[in-house]
């Protein structure tokens, strides 16, 4: 093969020629093909792809060479072009000692897939910041969950300067971590504010007639860090959803599991991990890697394990 080949998750294939000195992403674009991308510097990981040997690469960094082949974890038809929007703050509050909730409304609706994120440009903050939406598509109010990092620019803005009706801008939707339409049993694994995109997925499923089993393993560092518990319980009443809560550190009043999400995954009672499931993981890189490893060791198909990792980089900052 003298050209380059990209295979999408639904097995659609595109082939195009290498452009001398360009990346795979740039070569595809110059041939008229749009691929998922955002930062174009290898930081956001949106353009991740898998080579035939199983290793991962970022198409914005991979030099275009004849014969290159890779598979991307999304369907070409699912790509939603990112656009700019104006928004105003509806409200904000600490919902746990370590997590802020920010609620806002958009000037014009934004179509997105549950699990995707947006980039916010807030007053007085240089550069943009990335946060996953916790609301379902079509909701009039959008919801973000933000870690209360001591030196974080967004938490400082919320603590010190933010006001209801503050105007800001955002760009989106972005990312390829989104809910797939399938009848497979679905396992959701979230660490900290990695719960946000998982909530968007579960809220979307709550609008459908769901019969397949669902499970959520939600982990935090300290038991007090748990948030959105009322929403989780309401979803568990509406959906065939088993919920396992886990905290690394807990006191005697904690009714959940003590340990990590990987420790808690074997506790699932109504959900069997095997080749037929679909899994969605969002949280710190170490947690994501450990959860993937446990899933694969129990027979889960890597092609049906989707994940989003927190990226420790100031521009953009992850949710």
pLDDT score of 226: 96
CA distances for 150 relative to 97, 99, 269, 286, 319, angstroms: 12, 11, 38, 22, 14
Q: Is the domain defined by 83-174 classed in CATH 2.30.29.30?
A: no
Nearest to 315 by CA among 145, 128, 44: 128
pLDDT digits (tens, 9 = 90+) for 212-264: 999 999 999 999 999 999 999 999 999 999 999 999 999 888 989 999 999 99
Whether 100 contacts 158, CB under 8 Å: yes
pLDDT score of 270: 87
Q: Mean pLDDT over residues 178-207, rounded? A: 96
**What CATH number was assigned to the domain covering residues 186-309?**
3.40.50.80
pLDDT digits (tens, 9 = 90+) for 9-55: 989 999 999 998 999 999 999 999 989 988 888 877 789 899 999 89
pLDDT score of 41: 81
pLDDT score of 314: 39
In terms of pTM, does the model score above 0.95? no
pLDDT score of 309: 80
Distance CA 146, CA 99 (A): 6
pLDDT score of 311: 62
Main-chain phi, psi angles of 172, to 5 degrees: 175, -175
Please name the helix (run of DSSP H) or strand (run of DSSP E) that holds residue 191, with its range, or none.
strand 186-191
pLDDT score of 245: 97
Domain spans of the chain, in order of start: 4-78, 83-174, 186-309
CA distances for 227 relative to 155, 169, 313, angstroms: 16, 26, 24
**What CATH number was assigned to the domain covering residues 4-78?**
3.10.20.30
**DSSP-derived secondary structure letter, 63:** B
pLDDT score of 93: 97
**Average pLDDT value over all residues in the chain:** 92
pLDDT score of 310: 72
pLDDT digits (tens, 9 = 90+) for 71-127: 999 999 888 889 999 999 999 999 999 999 999 999 999 999 999 999 999 999 999
pLDDT digits (tens, 9 = 90+) for 114-156: 999 999 999 999 999 999 999 999 999 999 999 999 889 999 9
Strands 4-7 and 13-16: antiparallel
C-alpha gyration radius of the chain: 20
Q: How many CB atoms lie within 10 A of CB 217?
A: 27
DSSP string, 240-269: SEEEEEEEEE--TT--SEES-HHHHGGG-S
């Amino acid at each position: 093969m003298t050209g380059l080949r990209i295979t999408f998750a639904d097995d659609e294939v595109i082939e195009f020629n290498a452009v001398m000195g360009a990346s795979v992403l740039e070569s595809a674009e110059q041939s008229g093909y749009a691929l998922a991308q955002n930062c174009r510097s290898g930081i956001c990981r949106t353009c991740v792809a898998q080579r035939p040997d199983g290793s991962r690469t970022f198409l914005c960094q991979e030099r275009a060479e004849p014969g290159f082949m890779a598979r991307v974890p999304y369907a070409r038809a699912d790509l939603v072009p990112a656009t700019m929007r104006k928004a105003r703050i509806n409200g904000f509050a600490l919902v746990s000692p370590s997590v802020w909730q920010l609620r806002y409304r958009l000037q014009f609706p934004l179509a997105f897939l549950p699990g995707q994120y947006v980039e916010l440009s807030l007053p007085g903050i240089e550069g943009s910041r990335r946060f996953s939406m916790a609301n379902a598509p079509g909701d009039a109010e959008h919801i973000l969950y933000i870690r209360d990092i001591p030196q974080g620019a967004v938490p400082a803005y919320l603590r010190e300067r933010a006001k209801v009706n503050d105007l800001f801008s955002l760009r989106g939707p972005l990312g390829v971590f989104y809910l797939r339409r399938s009848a497979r049993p679905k396992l959701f694994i979230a660490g900290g504010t990695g719960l946000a995109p998982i909530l968007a997925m579960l809220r979307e499923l709550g609008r459908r007639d769901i019969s397949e089993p669902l499970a959520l393993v939600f982990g935090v560092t300290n038991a007090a860090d748990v948030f959105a518990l009322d929403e989780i319980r309401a979803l568990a009443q509406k959906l065939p959803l088993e919920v396992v809560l886990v905290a690394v550190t807990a006191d005697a009043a904690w009714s959940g599991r003590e340990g990590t999400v990987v420790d808690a995954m074997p506790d699932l009672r109504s959900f069997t991990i095997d080749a037929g499931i679909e899994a969605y993981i969002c949280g710190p890189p170490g947690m994501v890697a450990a959860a993937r490893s446990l899933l694969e060791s129990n027979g889960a198909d890597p092609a049906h394990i989707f994940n989003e990792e927190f990226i420790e980089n100031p521009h953009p900052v992850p949710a």
